[in-house]
Amino acid sequence: MLRVRERQGSFYDADYICEHLIPEDSFYRKFREIVWPMIEDKQFEEMYCKDNGRPAISPSLLAMATILQFHKNLSDREMERACMYDIEIKYALGLRLDERPFDHSSLGEFRKRLLEKGKEKEVFDCILNQLVETELIERNEIQRIDATHIIADVAIPTMVMLVKKGIFEILKPLKYRHKEVYKRIEKEINMNEYTKREINHEGSGRMDMEKKKKRLVEVVNDARTVLKHMEDIKAARDIRKKVEMLKRILQENIEEDAEGTLKEKAYKEKPKNRLVTPIDPDARYGAKSNKKRFTGYKANITEGVQCRFITNIKVMSGNRPDGQTMVEAVTEQEQNGLNPSKIIGDTAYTDGKYRKELKDKGTEVVAPLREKNTRTKSIYPKRMFKYNEKEQTLTCPQGVTTKESYYDRQKGIKTFHFPMSKCNRCPVQSKCTNAREGRRTVGISAVNKELREAERYNLTEEFKEDMKLRPPIEGKISELTRYHGLRRARYRGLRKVSLQCYFTAAAVNIKRWVKIMLEEMKPKLAEATAV
């Protein structure tokens, strides 16, 4: 049951005792000035029963405490202790000096309620809306975008341990909810191998290759035994999901050779989107470059060029391209009254599809086009060919026009072929194509117009000036990851990691807001000191 938080003063309030201890230019004093008027209990009413149950801890208090938790990069237990003994935290939250406001488990329960009601972005949006209303962020301000990786809160298992974890996840609920099935499985496999301790323990010493192969066969056979028994029961949805997860692990990683022997698939034969671990089914193997590989997630961050506030943050699995949530990250800002005139990014955001979708929404994408690959780097670029969309023809720099083409539905590209009779007689054939048959082909996509416009714009001085605005976002990413713990996921699952990102971004935006307020205060403080 939700109870309105009482803010009646007492002689034990930090306000009375610490008013002269907390300086005017303190972050915690300004935090209280900024955040208290914005975050109220009524914003979270639907998360609680109105007229039943024990009175709940004030959700506005928990929301503000969570912001400070991410600001200081504390665990739940550390935040509980800070609320008990840290005078600055007590002052910022309006607590009495002798007050223990909540147990650390209350923070976890609050996050759970936010996720259940889809309000994980509530606090971030509330702060962002206030920044827009006070004109600290201009509605059509130019923004920049970049992505950073977030390492998942998991240990990467070996193949044997991966299969064992998949089996354990099924046996755990089965033991209490389907006892008869559990007992039948117990007769066929060694249950001691699937205790909580064993599935997290690889064993002492290194196992040679033959023993590893033999061990893998044993656990895969155990997995098949479990799956066979699961076919006979009508399990609840959560158990069915775990059964599908185990099937997926076997399908993605295990194969039988010609002799019927079970073995692990070669690395290249495994799907790119394969499951990393059942503990965090949304985490994926990813890479920021050829050398920088990780396991976890990526976060796309948009930031105002002038204001330096974070305007959105979108989380995705680690194996997805950086630019894949770009359109979402920009268009979501409409609900906050933002519509950037330009969005500046690196080559990961140069795709013509992104350009077209955002152009239709009134946002121009500014990003370098990808460098030509080794096969095409020495040939004439597409901008030298004139495409007539109405007539569906393509004309080369030498004036030869062709209609011969075929359409690839999967890629959405129409490929034009120039006649070999013309190409073989062309005086600039060696500059136009390096194909073995000497014939030039050109692919035209549905976003050809946007790409050609970008190609022309990228040759201008204005583009060079725009790109000078992009690098500072690296500083914002460094702040998020180094000082506020965004490099590692605190929780497991895409939505929970998203919640972490939203609260971290909210804390960083408040920090930036306080900095602006303190800069405005400097002349007044200087005058007061002089007097």
268, exposed or middle or buried, with CB in 10 Å at 0-12, 13-18, 19+?
exposed
Which pLDDT value is given to residue 166? Answer: 93
- Residue tagged 């974070």 (tokens): 310
From residue 346, give the alpha-carbon distance in Å to each of 349, 355, 368, 474: 6, 13, 6, 12
* Segment 490-520, tens digit of pLDDT: 999 999 999 999 999 999 999 999 999 998 8
- Residue tagged 């939505």 (tokens): 495
Residue 487: which pLDDT band, with cuts at 50, 70 and 90? very high
Which pLDDT value is given to residue 193? Answer: 87
* Segment 348-392, tens digit of pLDDT: 999 999 999 999 999 999 999 987 655 555 688 888 899 998 889
Biggest CA pair distance of the chain = 96
520, exposed or middle or buried, with CB in 10 Å at 0-12, 13-18, 19+?
exposed
Which pLDDT value is given to residue 339? Answer: 95
Q: Are 286 and 298 in contact (CB under 8 A)?
A: yes
Amino acid at 462: E
Which pLDDT value is given to residue 21? Answer: 82
Q: What is the DSSP string of 255-303?
A: EE-TT--EEEPPGGGS-TT----TTSTT-EEEESSSS-EEEEEEEEEEE
Which pLDDT value is given to residue 367? Answer: 95
Residue 527: which pLDDT band, with cuts at 50, 70 and 90? low
Which pLDDT value is given to residue 15? Answer: 67
Question: Can you tell me the mean pLDDT for 449-475?
Answer: 93
| Paired strand residues for 264 | 254
From residue 206, give the alpha-carbon distance in Å to each of 85, 253, 264, 267: 47, 22, 18, 21
- Read off the tokens for 195: 């205790």
- The pTM of the full predicted model, rounded to 2 decimals, is 0.89
* Segment 8-66, tens digit of pLDDT: 455 556 666 777 788 888 999 999 999 999 999 999 988 888 777 677 889 999 999 99
Rounded to the nearest 10 degrees, what angle do helices 209-230 and 159-177 cross at? 30
Q: Is 43 helix (H, G, I), strand (E, B) or coil?
A: helix
Residue 129: which pLDDT band, with cuts at 50, 70 and 90? very high
- Give the chain's mean pLDDT: 89
Residue 449: which pLDDT band, with cuts at 50, 70 and 90? confident
Share of the chain above pLDDT 70, in %: 93
Question: Can you tell me the mean pLDDT for 403-429?
Answer: 89
- Please report the domains of the chain, with CATH numbers, ordered by start residue: 1-118 (no CATH), 120-154+285-368+458-531 (3.30.420.10), 159-269 (no CATH), 382-447 (no CATH)
Which pLDDT value is given to residue 433? Answer: 86
Residue 96: which pLDDT band, with cuts at 50, 70 and 90? confident
202 against 40, higher pLDDT:
40
* Segment 210-243, tens digit of pLDDT: 888 888 999 999 999 999 999 878 878 889 999 9
Question: Can you tell me the mean pLDDT for 330-347?
Answer: 95
- Read off the tokens for 178: 């389907």
Question: Can you tell me the mean pLDDT for 59-87?
Answer: 95
pLDDT at position 414 over 70: yes
Question: Can you tell me the mean pLDDT for 306-327?
Answer: 95
| Paired strand residues for 62 | none
Which pLDDT value is given to residue 305? Answer: 97
224 against 412, higher pLDDT:
224
Q: Per mean pLDDT, which range of 192-196, 329-333, 491-495 is the poorest?
A: 192-196
* Segment 259-314, tens digit of pLDDT: 778 888 998 899 989 999 999 999 999 987 777 889 999 999 999 999 999 999 99
Residue 6: which pLDDT band, with cuts at 50, 70 and 90? low
CA 64 – CA 249 distance, rounded (Å): 41
Share of the chain above pLDDT 90, in %: 60
Which pLDDT value is given to residue 525? Answer: 55
